[in-house]
Amino acid sequence: MGIKRIVRAGDPILKNKANEVSVKDIPSEKIQSIIHDLIDTMKQHNGAGLAAPQVGIGLQILVYGFDSNPRYPGEGPIPLTTLINPKIIKYSDEQLIGFEGCLSLDTLRGEVKRAETIELSAYNEKGGHITRIISGFEARVIQHEVDHLMGTLIIERMPNFDKFGFTEELKAQNQIP
Ligand code: NI
């Protein structure tokens, strides 16, 4: 277990597609210790979520969840969740626009459009297969983290650069709480 260094934008690992984890390896010490490190690192940095490439590991593993989050003070609790080889199999037509940050982008934030509801297929940390329908901020977090596994950063998804900048500046403009 441990806190890892966060890889920041500019490192090519963030632009690569991560490899699938072999399902039989999920219970292994190697994969379990990556999951623990991701959780520890996410909590240390108050992340809403964290994907393995963000700690320099090119595997399709992500974690998310929090009781309360100072980076997203308006959002309610989301249970701590691990997803392995996640696939979003359906996106709702309804999209919501909202500000997102990213630990790999330090304090930069911008508005990103995401499907309001998604249907998700993935493996959990025990190697069990799950399918779930998820809405709202949790769906936003999952779409953000799955993007990391595909080598996509939020900047590439921002439709409006008038709504992009450093957290402090956006707060001063009352763009974010
Ligand atoms: Ni991110």
138 is catalytic: no
Å from CA of 14 to ligand 1 middle: 10
User: How much is the pLDDT for 5?
Assistant: 97
- Is residue 117 within 8 Å of residue 92, measured between CB atoms? yes
Q: Stretch 98-110: mean pLDDT, rounded?
A: 97
Q: Which one is catalytic: 145, 156, 168, 169?
A: 145
Rounded distance from Cα 145 to ligand 1 centre (Å): 6
Would you place residue 177 in the very low, low, confident or very high pLDDT band (cuts 50, 70, 90)? confident
Mean pLDDT across 62-88:
96
Asked if residue 109 has pLDDT above 80, the reply is yes
Tens of pLDDT, residue by residue over 120-143, are 999 999 999 999 999 999 999 999
For ion ligand 1, residues whose CB falls within 5 Å = 102
pLDDT digits (tens, 9 = 90+) for 21-44: 999 999 999 999 999 999 999 999
The whole-number pLDDT of residue 1 equals 59
